[in-house]
Amino acid sequence: MSVDPRLSINQATIKHADLETALRVTADAGIQAIGLWREPVNEVGLDVAAQMLADSGLRFTTHCRGGFFTLPEGPERVAALDDNRRAIEETATLAAAGADGSTAVLVLVAGGLPAGSRDLIGARERVRDAIGALAPFAEEAGVTLAIEPLHPMYASDRAVVSTLGQALDIAADFDSAVVGAAVDTFHIWWDPQVLDQIARAGREGRIATYQVCDWKTPLAADVLLSRHYTGDGVIDFGSLTKAVIATGYDRDIEVEIFNADIWADAPEHVVRRTAETFGSAVSPHLR
């Protein structure tokens, strides 16, 4: 099987694989790039993780995740910002360890409403303020902060930023090399403005990463775990991918899947299946 050279496996797709296994099965499948998550990196330690990544020969595409910025002023917010600074440092180190073509991108999930709060507008402003506090640190480290809008069903508990337009409005206050957006098909496919907003993101130089997976109903009881292989659901990867490519986006494309059945499968099979479905659902629209 020929594997698309732009395919990257986001480590969440093989969540239960440790870092060593994730790197090995990805490379063994002929996939050239990987996006990592902080928890498995921190399990082995950053220096060890960076060496393992370097030894794998894989490109590094993103680090997941930073964010959770909606807390009001106080010790918890200070701790969250400190943790994001550590995440920025991790991103820079891993990007430097990855193969040529690696990208220093930290994906940010904004955070939901604080307990007891109904102030959605205020929560979004605190996201903007937090990114303002982190942007100089990210710029110094050479890291791009990628604001990821999440589907509105996650607005209360995970991300008060629900559309690509909202993410771009926040990013507009900052240099495009420092703050961009993550374009994830699962979260934005439904948006009537999505093609216009992808074009806008391209004009503004804000597409830091393009991530794909599919949407299929009925949703899982835990809606977080409702992502599917590309082509198994209803998302039109043709229109979305062509819109992203039309902006000049030339980076790798991550497959990020949260699905309990897929997680229960052998990681070797998951990465092969990911490559196959990407090849049929996404690759034709890259040419």
Q: Given pLDDT bands bounded at 50, 70 and 90, which one contains residue 130?
A: very high
Percent of the residues in the chain that have a pLDDT greater than 90, as a whole number = 99
Q: What is the pLDDT of residues 94-114, one digit of tens each?
A: 999 999 999 999 999 999 999
Q: Residue 287: its pLDDT value, please? A: 81
Average model confidence (pLDDT) for the chain? 97
Q: Residue 16: its pLDDT value, please? A: 96
The residue whose two tokens read 């098909």 is 185
Q: What is the pLDDT of residues 204-222, one digit of tens each?
A: 999 999 999 999 999 999 9
d(CA 186, CA 214): 6
Q: Residue 156: its pLDDT value, please? A: 97
- The β-bridge relationship of strands 207-212 and 179-184 is parallel
Q: Given a cut of 90, is residue 126 above it in pLDDT?
A: yes
Q: Which of 282, 281, 258, 280 is nearest to 270 (CA)?
A: 258
Longest dimension (CA), the chain: 53
Q: Is the peptide bond before 65 cis (omega within 30 degrees of 0)?
A: yes
Q: Residue 13: its pLDDT value, please? A: 98
Tell me the DSSP string of 191-213.
-TTHHHHHHHHHHTT-EEEEEE-
Burial 12-36 (b: 16+ CB within 10 A, else e): bbbbebebeebbbbbbebebbbbbb
Angle between helices 194-203 and 164-171 (to 10 degrees): 20
Q: Is the peptide bond before 284 cis (omega within 30 degrees of 0)?
A: no
